[in-house]
Structure 1
Amino acid sequence: MNPPDQTPRRRDRIDGRAIRDGASSIGVAIDDDAARRLAVYLDAMLDENEHVNLTAVRDPSTAVVLHAVDSLAIALAVAEPPRAVFDLGTGNGFPGVACAVLWPSARVVLCDRTQKKLIAIVRCLQLAGIVAEPLWADADQLPARDPAQLAAFDLVVARAVGDPAAVARGSAPLLAPGGRLALWLTAEDRPPVTLAGGMGRERVVRYELPEPARRTRAINVWRKD
Structure 2
Amino acid sequence: MTNPLYQYFSILTDAQKEKFDQLKSLYDDWNSKINVISRKDMDAFYEHHVLHSLAIAKFISFSPRSQIVDIGTGGGFPGIPLSIMFPDCKFVLVDSIGKKIKVVNEVIKSIGLINAVGLQSRSEQHSGKYDFIVSRAVTTLPDFVKLTKHLISPNQKNAISNGILYLKGGEILSEVKPFGKRASVINLNQYFQEPFFETKKLVHLSL
- TM-score greater than 0.5 by the shorter chain: yes
Higher strand share: 1
Query: Which position in structure 1 is the counterpart of 2:75?
Result: 92
Instruction: Say whether residues 1:134 and 2:108 are aligned partners.
Output: no
- Which of 15, 27, 46 is matched with 1:45 structurally? 27
Aligned 1:113-128 pairs, distance under 5 A: 113-128=96-111
For the 8 Å contact 2:134–2:165, the answer to whether it is kept is yes
How far is the alpha carbon of 1:43 from its aligned partner?
Answer: 2.3
Instruction: Say whether residues 1:179 and 2:162 are aligned partners.
Output: yes
Secondary structure of 1:50's counterpart equals helix
Structure label with greater radius of gyration: 1
C-alpha distance in 2 between matches for 1:21 and 1:79? 17
Cα separation, partners in 2 of 1:155 and 1:199, compared to 1, 3 Å: farther
Secondary structure of 1:90's counterpart equals coil
How far is the alpha carbon of 1:211 from its aligned partner?
Answer: 4.4
Query: Which position in structure 1 is the counterpart of 2:18?
Result: 36
Deviations 1:56-97 (A, max 9, x none): 144544111000001111012224436101000000101001
**28-37 or 102-111: which moved more?**
28-37
C-alpha distance in 2 between matches for 1:168 and 1:174? 10
Task: For 1:111, give the aligned amino acid.
Answer: V
Query: Which position in structure 1 is the counterpart of 2:138?
Result: 161
Query: Which position in structure 2 is the counterpart of 1:66?
Result: 48
TM-score (norm 2): 0.83
How high is the sequence identity, in percent, across the aligned residues?
23
Q: List gaps (5 residues or longer) in structure 2.
A: 155-160
C-alpha distance in 1 between matches for 2:144 and 2:10? 29
Aligned 1:195-206 pairs, distance under 5 A: 195=179, 200-201=182-183, 203-206=184-187
- Which of 20, 25, 32 is matched with 2:5 structurally? 20
Secondary structure of 2:37's counterpart equals coil
TM-score (norm 1): 0.77
Secondary structure of 2:76's counterpart equals coil
The number of equivalent residue pairs is 195
C-alpha distance in 2 between matches for 1:47 and 1:210? 29
Question: RMSD across aligned C-alpha pairs, in angstroms?
Answer: 2.4
Cα separation, partners in 2 of 1:120 and 1:160, compared to 1, 3 Å: same
Instruction: Say whether residues 1:221 and 2:204 are aligned partners.
Output: yes
